Structure 1
Amino acid sequence: MSNRKTLPVSGGGTCSCKFSHNSSAEKMRILELEVSAYSGNGSSSGQEPQDADYDDVPCLSDELETMILARFPISKHWKLCCLSKRFLTLLKSGEIYKIRRVIGFKEPSVFMLASGEKNWCVFDGHFRSCRKLPIIPSDYNFEWGDKESFSAGTNLFVSGKEVNGGVVWRYELAINKWFKGPCMITPRCLFASASPGTMAYVAGGLDTTTWEVLSSSEKYNSESLTWEPLPRMIQKRKFCSGCYLDNKFYVLGGQDEQQNNLTCGEFFDEETNTWNLVPDMFKDIPLSTPRSPPLLAVANNELYTLDASSNELKVYLKGKNSWKKLGRVPVRADVQGGWGVAFKSLGNELLVIGATSSPYSQRAMMKIYTCLPDPHVEKLQWKQIVSSNTNLNPFIHNCAVMLA
């Protein structure tokens, strides 16, 4: 005999959902239909479907049901909490994301802080849904100061400086909350970072206590919520950028202690626990001041950079230690020397967010473009993503992509 359970819904309120003894195929179909209906995709009204008689059918095993639920898009997770109390428990504990990693099911989420906003926004990988995160419970100094962001596992990190010193705020995707810490071993700003899977690497930058240019590096483990020190880089550098390429953590560009622009790069090899210098890795990229740290993205294990002086996209030719031009991007990165533009990898695609004119123009609007990169073509074709949630300021302060 069927029964009805009232479960809490993320964001407040309750949902009354009908459960019964169902066959695997039938329950899978019911889950898909009801989630589609709740999301507004399965019916014109988007209201709860009418009850059906699902009685006297064998029950779907917990294991199989979990495998099904784990494959639903992250943007629909809060709706699944209406249908399954077990899923709600798995979600809040973070177990559902561990299951997704085990079965190799990941999707990108784009976290963004636009100028003039107190709340971070998160978009799904197709920019079809958008929601605001809770406001970071920091002080005024942190809110209006410069910040860096990166992700690791299901953690989003925002690093900055409060009145009492450097601080790192951590957003937990599973429970939609911000937590303070854990802080890096060396508090820093204007550093390089990269996030392969559940780990995150940081290196270089400025010490926010002494303002010394750093060569130190460290690694964060999102499973244990701890930082561990790594060997020092060969070169001290600030205003640098990082990426994860060929299973190695690369740090490129930046400036040394004497404000000299650095054209060399270096990478950390986990197997040998050493840093290796790559001379002239950035020699083909015009270096001018003032400018942002290098705009880097890795897609299909190929490294791309957005040249902020010319708005040109370039791909790194590993065997030649040089860069090949792939045409201009459709946003203006040159207006503020790269500041205010988001350039990221989105799975196997490249993502660029900004304005097609000066971001300070009254007519400026935030534009989103993606492309499937091909290092062998002469010019890449960009596709504009049309979203109803792009009424944000086109000047992007921070952007991070999380794969979970």
Structure 2
Amino acid sequence: MSKGKEMEGEDEIEDLCRNDSKHGSKKRLVARVGGSSSGEPQDADYSVVASLSDELALILARVPRSEYWKFTFVNKRFFSLLKSGELYKIRKEIGVKECSVFMLASGETSWWAFDRQFRSCKKLPILPSDVCFQTGDKESVCAGTHLIVSGKEFEGVVIWRYEFAANKWFKGPNMINPRCLFASATCGTCAFVAGGIGMETNWKVLNSAEKYNPETKSWEPLPGMHRKRKLCSGFCMDNKFYVIGGTNEEGKGLTCAEVFDEKKNDWDLIPNMLKDSPVSTSQSPPLVAVVNNELYSLEASSNELKVYLKGSNSWKNLGPVPVKADVARGWGVAFKSLGDELLVIGASSNSYAGHGMTICTCFPKPQADELHWRSLDKGCTNQMSHFILNCSVMGA
């Protein structure tokens, strides 16, 4: 290593340790990676970097997750930190977050994981469920480094979770109230679900809600919503969990929304939040995403993007999106927040028949009249169907 690069590395370590000390976390991080910070060798293996010092572990925690596989071949201790999940705890401590997109397209037998730019991809291990689960409808949400997939097996509704660190699927834990057609959202490192149809309550529409904690790998009950609803959507905004749209137990479309505040441990009703948007029982749940605490909606019937104006409880049109969401009434389209960008995946609007997948992102601006969408290189998605069955974004 040149002297210049060596000095740069020392400066980065100093900056990192200084930042960690502000939060009182350096001691915890040193304890987590093991041993002292003296720089003495910690493991004698065949690696190019024979020892993984505490400071180096902190630096490597900042490396993009898509590059981790390279380090596992040269250092046993790094591989141990990665496989145990400790490296992701270090990343959380120092505030490092990176987006990955998990997707299951029609006709695929395996889930795929993509980096933010869709330049690299990884095929996940085959989910070891029965044929009923494999061919049936599924719902997914991310919590920390867990991908949670809910569906029905022959014996009933089950949860399968993919743990990114272990690169392995595990069964359970099931929700307290197993359900389908529910709202879900990632809030912080936890996942929230609400509403839906109860699979153990004679298919009744629910108002119950739950929270999944990846640290304890368990579900916690939340207070019930004011309204029972199914085919609804969820999102996290201003550190609160929102549920919007759907239909009630009589099949009537709901224009109201509800918001759960963990600090108050209670729900507030928001009347007419969807008053300007058509509600149809044949449509998909509302396609919504939050970027920089602003709520955006993809209107399936018109292929138009809208932004929610909190002050007036109304919506502003931001122009068309580059997908044909109306081809299947909103089904088969992925509309997600990707850090500070919006992500949309679906049938290309440039194709008359709606065939051919398109993956586009944009930096949304509520004050803009129209947004500029950027097409991403599809890479290994070229042969995939444009119809997206499930899509979730993990930030860790």
For Structure 1 versus Structure 2, the TM-score category normalised by the shorter chain is 0.7 to 0.9
Give secondary structure in 2 for the equivalent of 1:335. helix
1:102 offset after TM fit, Å? Answer: 1.0
2:297 alignment partner in structure 1: 305
Does residue 123 in structure 1 map to residue 114 in structure 2? yes
2:33 alignment partner in structure 1: none
Does residue 349 in structure 1 map to residue 341 in structure 2? yes
Does the CA-based 8 Å contact 2:195-2:230 persist in structure 1? yes
Counting only pairs closer than 5 Å after superposition, residues 138-287 of structure 1 correspond to structure 2 as 138-209=129-200, 210-287=202-279
Q: What amino acid does structure 2 have at the position aligned with 1:197?
A: G
Q: What amino acid does structure 2 have at the position aligned with 1:213?
A: V
> How far apart in 2 are the matches of 1:388 and 1:270?
41
Does the CA-based 8 Å contact 1:24-1:60 persist in structure 2? no
> How far apart in 2 are the matches of 1:93 and 1:27?
30
Q: What amino acid does structure 1 have at the position aligned with 2:302?
A: S
Give secondary structure in 2 for the equivalent of 1:389. helix
Give secondary structure in 1 for the equivalent of 2:298. strand
Does the CA-based 8 Å contact 1:297-1:305 persist in structure 2? yes
1:73 offset after TM fit, Å? Answer: 1.1
Does the CA-based 8 Å contact 1:335-1:358 persist in structure 2? no
Counterpart pick for 1:73 among 64, 78, 95: 64
1:114 alignment partner in structure 2: 105
1:289 offset after TM fit, Å? Answer: 3.5
Does the CA-based 8 Å contact 1:359-1:395 persist in structure 2? no
1:23 offset after TM fit, Å? Answer: 11
Counterpart pick for 1:380 among 349, 361, 371: 371
Encode CA deviations 1:82-136: one digit per residue, 9 max, x unaligned.
Answer: 2221110100110111111111111100000000001000000111101110111
1:11 alignment partner in structure 2: none
Encode CA deviations 1:30-54: one digit per residue, 9 max, x unaligned.
Answer: xxxxxxxxxxxxxxxxxxxxxxxxx
Question: TM-score with structure 2 length normalisation?
Answer: 0.86
Percent of paired sites with the same residue:
60
Question: TM-score with structure 1 length normalisation?
Answer: 0.84
Q: What amino acid does structure 2 have at the position aligned with 1:269?
A: D
Long gaps (5+) in structure 2: 11-48
1:149 offset after TM fit, Å? Answer: 0.3
Does the CA-based 8 Å contact 2:300-2:330 persist in structure 1? yes
> How far apart in 2 are the matches of 1:315 and 1:124?
26
Give 1 or 2: higher helix fraction. 2
1:28 offset after TM fit, Å? Answer: 5.8
Does the CA-based 8 Å contact 1:157-1:170 persist in structure 2? yes
1:35 alignment partner in structure 2: none
Does the CA-based 8 Å contact 1:192-1:203 persist in structure 2? yes
Long gaps (5+) in structure 1: 1-19, 30-57
Does residue 367 in structure 1 map to residue 369 in structure 2? no
Aligned residues: 355
